[in-house]
Structure formats: structure tokens, C-alpha cells
Structure 1
Amino acid sequence: MRLIIVSGRSGSGKSTALDVLEDNGFYCIDNLPAGLLPELAERSLLHTELAQPLVAVSIDARNLPSQLSRFPDLLAEVRAKHIHCDVLYLDADDETLLKRFSETRRRHPLSNASRSLAEAIHDESALLGPITDLADLKINTTSLNLYQLRDTLKLRLLNKPDAGTAFLVESFGFKRGMPVDADLVFDVRCLPNPYWKPELREQSGLDADVAVYLAAQPDVEDMYQDIHAYLSKWLPRFAASNRAYVTVAIGCTGGHHRSVYLADRLAKALGPSLQNIQVRHRDLS
């Protein structure tokens, strides 16, 4: 059985996450009372017609505070049944959540006559603290549109069918902001930039001409060897510590050339030694 618990602040994309999971064969339950989590897991194991049942539930601020405070114990009870369980936590910055609620004109579950929307959004973080602390995968949706969020969820959740650590090597451009959910970040902006070669400007780090140019630069090779040595040594230790998800981010200025080349090369080199490694180029159109 595989169980995914979806949580996060209101407006962060939980409904989208459940839609993606339902479209991919999960039986989804929105707003499950947290206290029912162990019973649901047990019943799903005993009374399903599926050989490997797929279940996803949403547990969020609509629960009673007393239920949310029990979440660590409830999760431990579920995992004691040897159920493959992932906790997904979605979030966005306060300004983005305010904007999303203003656009949809929906009422926040914690807002009332004495608590403003801004206060409700702020207070929700503390209320969901017991879940946030135990999240296996955190995704910040501030800069993601609906389609990007769907693609990210498919990549990180649905391409990880087995237990064990899922590693993501992600390229990005600093001009669009650093990935806030990255575990390790390497800045490669000091390297020679193909952007200043007119014949290479419109290509990306996935194109052969750019790869040939970068591979010929001594600084690029030194940077690659150093990052590869570090990751080769330490990523297996992340896996040994029972981390479910680890994101390694490689950043250059625009996220088109240097970071893309290095992320792709690193993912290919690390693949044979790591069971589950994915690559994503955030800023390539």
C-alpha cells in the first residue's frame, strides 16, 4: 500500500495535488479528521480489492487543533504497520496566499470577524507546525502556475513508486530566484558563460555545441569534479538517514546554459550509484 498525506496552508495548491493523484489512480479523501488516519490505513490494507492500494488524504487547518497536535503520534502508528507513507507539504509566501484568496474571494478557514485574512494566513503556519516538521517533501508554489505545479507533483511523487530516497538534481537561474525547497545549492555563476557567445546564446546546456564549449573550459571541469566528489560522498549518507526526498540545485544567472549542463551531467554520472535520481531544468521553456 502507498499512502500520501497532503497538507499545507490554504491556497497553496492542495486541491490541485489531490486532483493530480486522483487522475493517477489514487483514492483521494479531502479534509480527513487526523484521528481517523490509522483506522483508514488499516481498513485500506484489509478491505481493498487492489493488490497495492493507492490512497491520498488531505489533512490541514480545517482539523481541530487537538487533532493536529496528535499528528506525530498518528503518523508513527501508521508507519508501524509498514505502510509506505509520504507526507507532502505545500506552501507559498504570505503575499502570494493573500493574492490568491483575493482573486478567488473564498473565505479562509481560520478567518472570522475578529481575525483578518492576513492574521489567519500567519496563524495557520503555527497550527500546522506538527505536520510541517515531519514533511518528507516540501514544495513552495509561490512561483508555480497550475501546470508547473502539476508537472512538479508528477515528477516528485508519481515517479517515486518505491521506498527509498528520491534525489532531484535541478538547474535554475538566480535572476528568477533561488529554489526555496532545495536542500543543497551550488552557485556556478563564476564559470565562463556561453551567453556571451552569439552562436550559443539561443541554445541551452542540453545542446551539443554548448556542451562542447563548456567541457573545454578548465574551470567548468574543476567545478564539476568538486561537486561530483561532494555528492558522491554525501548523497548516499542522506539516503542512509532515511530521507525520502533530497533536492540538489545548481544555479547560474539565467538557468539556461551552465547550470543546465552541469545538472544534466551530474544526474547521469550519479545515476548508476543512486537508485532513484531525477533531473529538472526549472527555467528552460
Structure 2
Amino acid sequence: MDLPPTDPVAPLIRSLLAEGRPRVWSIIVTVLGDAVEPHGGWIASARLSELLERVGIAPGAMRAALSRLAADGWLEREREGRASFHRLSRDRLSEYRKAARAIYAAPRAGDMQDWVLTIGVAPDARGGLLLAPGTVLWPAEAAPKKGAGLRITGKLDLSGSIPLPRQHLDARRRMRSDLAALDAFPADLAPLDAMAARLLLLHRWRRLVLKFPDLPAGVDPTGDTDLRRMVAVHYRRLLPASERWLAEAGPGFDALPPAATGAEPFTRFTQPA
């Protein structure tokens, strides 16, 4: 994809495309959960297409992903004349709201104090730090309550860093790279550009935080324990302009309704998990 050198969102788009073919279905879930759900939940295909084309995703890829999501029970769909609309299904929305507590939790004032070490077969190691096969270190609030074999609960006393799996280190490196690109963004982004940047920021953060835990000082060998705070800063910075895009009508789509009381995006990253 050729991106003009003056495109402010180009660094984030290149970062997404550098990983290979994007998982368009997952990007659509991010759009629906992060941007659309607070505004009634429904998005017109024309609006979704405008946003996804802005980040390098072709209409054909979007249509294929929407069909897959509908077939897998992720989406509800409606038609009005020639226009089609999509939203997360009730069951999948419940899953997203549960995940949102981890995605949008406020940055911690200090290090996590209580941890759980599980030894044995865990039902799902996502959200924990895999130290060895069958051995996972969890923040206490994220640890499985059953089905994980031996559980040891206590506080961390680190004499050195813990080697992280390469997959985890790579995910954090890519997150830091995107945050560095956002540092250089102009303050006066156009609404669609701001929405595209918000989508790419939140999509990368969602993938990181739902798979790996926040790390206390001393665990990350890079010494980087500030990712959540930096994500929150840039997310809040992008919100005003990106919300204007949601409030605007465009070719083939109407403005979305205002956010429901209690669902305002401006309250995100302010509440504990």
C-alpha cells in the first residue's frame, strides 16, 4: 500500500501491515466494541468501510470478515433498503464488556502487590505470565479461580528481571513503537484521521492486554512498565476529534447518536479493573 509522506496516520498503518495480512474480523470487533457500542451499537457498512479503507483494508476484505463474524455468531445484521447495519451480538457484547474492564482500566498508582503462581494445567494462560510449561504467574485479580492445579499466593520479591517469552517482548516492542509514532502526531488531526489512529492504537493495546498481564517493575527486562499510562494519554488525546467523526454524517451513512449516559468514552482509563 502506497502511503503519501504527508499522511499523519501512515506510521501506524505501516505497523499494522508489517505483521502480514491484517485480521480484519478482529479489527471490526475493536471498532464495534470501542467506538460504536457507546453510540447505540449499530454501524452502517458505508461508515465502517470508510474507516477501514483509511487504515488500508479493502472493501472486499471487510465484506468477507463481516460474513465470517455473522456466521460465527459475533454479529447481528439489519438492512434498510440498500443499506446494511451491523452490531455485536448480545453474547459477544457481554464478552467484550468483560474484557473492557482490563482494556480500559486506569493506570495503577503503584506496582501490583498480590500475585498468584499456578502450577499445573491452566484452562487458559491468557492474562498471565508464562514462566515455564504449566507454570504461570498472574496478577491476583486475573488468576483463574479453579482448574489450575497448585496455587501459591503472595507478593513478589524480585532479585532480577524475569525472562519474558519472545512473543510477549515483540508485542510490547510493537506497542512502544506505535506510541512513539503517536508522540509525533499533529495536534489538529482531521476527525477521520483521529478515528483511524484511535482504532489502530486501541486494537494493538487490546491484543496485548488481553493476552499478557501488566508488568511490575523488575519483571520487564526493558524496564518499561508505563505502557498503560501512555496508552491512556494518547487515547484521551484522540477522543475529541475521533468522536466528531462518529457524530458526522457522510456518504451513505447518518451521524451516530450521542453516547448513552454511563457509557461515555471519556470515562475510560479512569476506573480500576
Q: What's the TM-score, normalizing by structure 2?
A: 0.30
Rg bigger for which structure? Answer: 1
Task: Flag the structure with more relative contact order, 1 or 2, with Cα contacts below 8 A and sequence separation at least 6.
Answer: 2
